[in-house]
Structure formats: structure tokens, C-alpha cells
């Protein structure tokens, strides 16, 4: 990690403030995997780019490839891919994390509804979820409780939850809770409504994916399965056609 920090600081002139903030937001939405900081992440991108470029140059020397314009462009492409690789990894991590949170949220809201209607406070209900679950959503709820314990208001802690996850269902959940606090509406009733809406949206997403399946399978069907099928069916007849003069 110290090497990544030094490398990132050495090339700090490459990182405008907007890129630093964007990288920080990406790491937050990914759950800060490995507790990587913004500087370490940028250093990792530089290290991957420079490392793959060095490997490419070393391979060119071993294979005795001339450094023509095309080969230099290929080396530049290799370096760009290495620089982009950590961002691709973190983006995939964000997608997986958001999917897990989205799938876990309706069950979590059911548990929150039951515990709140049983007389527990909102914070105690979150602690119950933390005690029973160990996933990205429960860890985010733990972060909310830490923020509240450090003096933040519930509204600010929940807004932070929405910013860190970027999940539409979480943003809807946060908005509903904040409005319930403002209007004095029962949180249990709001959570029950939210849970039902999220389950309905999850069913709708499943139906949409099922409807997209025929379109997605068209490419492998036309370009992979049909040619192989035609080869099996027509292959034995080809020698006869050729021998008959076709």
C-alpha cells in the first residue's frame, strides 16, 4: 500500500479534483473492498497500466518484434487496458453489491416491520438485523447505527446510506422514512408498504428478464447452433453434390 500511495502522489498532477471525487464515490459504492483508499486505488490503476506496458515491451524484446507504429499502438492499447482494469473490477463489484442489497432489502423490511410493531425502536430493529444477518445490507445498517451513535441525525445517516449504495430501492426506502418522520406517520406502516412495493418491483424485473431471454438467445442460436446443425445435416450430402458436378 505505501508503494501505491507514493506512485499515486508522484503522478498526482494527472488527477483533477473531479476524478478524485468520482473514484472516492466508486469505492464507497463498492463497499471499500480491502479498505482501499482513493489514493491507493489510483496508484493501483497506474501500477497495472505501467506493469502491463513493461510486460509488453519485455515480450517484444524476447520475440524480437520491431517497434513499428502498429506495435507501438498495440503497446499503448495494452497499457490502457491495464489502467482501466481496476476500474472494471470495482464496477463489477458495485453491480454485484447492488444486486445483493436489492434482493435482501424486502426481507429486511419485513423483519423491521415485525420488530417495530412488536415495540422495538428503529435503531434496535436494525441491531436485530445485524445480529441475524451478515451481508452487505446488514453492514450498511451497521454503518447507519455508527453514524447515529457519532451524533448524526437519523435523516443524515439514512441519506448517507442512499449515497453509499446507489440502489434505487434504498433511495426509495430512505425517502419514505424521512417523509414518515416529517409527517409523524407510523414507521411500521410505511415499511410494510415499502416491502410490498419492492417485492412487486422484483417480480416485474424478473418478468422483464424473462421477456428479454428470447432476444438474447437469438445471437448464439443463429451464429452458433444453426451453422453446426446445417453442417451435421448437409455435411454427408456435400461430397455427393461435388461428385455429381455441382
Q: Which pLDDT does position 71 carry in this prediction?
A: 80
Q: How many CB atoms lie within 10 A of CB 5?
A: 14
The grid cell for 208 is: 422483464
pLDDT for res 33: 79
pLDDT tens-place values along the chain, 246 residues long: 566 566 656 666 566 778 778 888 888 888 887 777 777 888 888 888 888 888 988 888 888 888 788 888 888 898 899 889 989 999 999 999 999 998 888 888 888 888 888 888 888 989 988 888 888 999 999 999 999 999 888 899 999 999 999 888 899 889 988 888 888 777 888 888 888 888 888 788 777 777 777 777 777 777 777 677 767 776 676 666 666 655
Homologous superfamily (CATH) for 99-203: Type II secretion system (T2SS), domain F (1.20.81.30)
Label residue 115 exposed, middle or buried (CB < 10 Å: 0-12, 13-18, 19+).
buried
Residue 169 to residue 108: CA distance in whole angstroms: 12
User: Which pLDDT belongs to residue 88?
Assistant: 92
Q: Who contacts 30 (Cβ-Cβ below 8 Å, separation ≥6)?
A: 90, 93, 94, 97
Provide the 8-state DSSP code for 135.
S
Domain parsing of the chain, residue ranges: 2-97, 99-203
pTM: 0.74
Dihedral class, residue 63 (left if φ above 0, else alpha if ψ from -120 to 50, else beta)? alpha
Amino acid at each position: 500500500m505505501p508503494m501505491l500511495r507514493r506512485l499515486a502522489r508522484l503522478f498526482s498532477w494527472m488527477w483533477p479534483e473531479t476524478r478524485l471525487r468520482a473514484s472516492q464515490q466508486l469505492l464507497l459504492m463498492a463497499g471499500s473492498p480491502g479498505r482501499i483508499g482513493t489514493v491507493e486505488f489510483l496508484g493501483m490503476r497506474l501500477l497495472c497500466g505501467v506493469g502491463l506496458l513493461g510486460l509488453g515491451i519485455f515480450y517484444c524484446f524476447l520475440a524480437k518484434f520491431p517497434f513499428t507504429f502498429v506495435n507501438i499502438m498495440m503497446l499503448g492499447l495494452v497499457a490502457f487496458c491495464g489502467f482501466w482494469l481496476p476500474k472494471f473490477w470495482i464496477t463489477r463489484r458495485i453491480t454485484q453489491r447492488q444486486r445483493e442489497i436489492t434482493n435482501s432489502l424486502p426481507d429486511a423490511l419485513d423483519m423491521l416491520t415485525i420488530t417495530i410493531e412488536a415495540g422495538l425502536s428503529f435503531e434496535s430493529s436494525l441491531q436485530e438485523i445485524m445480529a441475524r444477518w451478515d451481508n452487505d445490507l446488514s453492514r450498511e445498517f451497521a454503518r447507519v447505527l455508527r453514524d447515529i451513535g457519532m451524533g448524526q441525525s437519523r435523516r443524515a445517516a439514512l441519506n448517507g446510506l442512499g449515497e453509499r449504495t446507489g440502489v434505487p430501492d434504498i433511495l426509495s426506502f430512505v425517502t419514505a422514512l424521512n417523509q414518515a418522520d416529517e409527517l409523524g406517520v407510523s414507521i411500521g406502516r410505511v415499511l410494510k408498504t415499502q416491502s410490498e412495493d419492492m417485492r412487486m418491483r422484483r417480480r416485474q424485473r424478473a418478468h422483464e428478464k424473462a421477456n428479454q431471454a428470447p432476444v438474447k438467445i437469438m445471437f448464439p442460436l443463429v451464429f452458433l447452433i444453426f451453422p453446426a446443425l446445417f453442417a451435421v445435416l448437409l455435411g454427408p450430402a456435400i461430397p455427393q453434390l461435388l461428385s455429381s458436378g455441382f
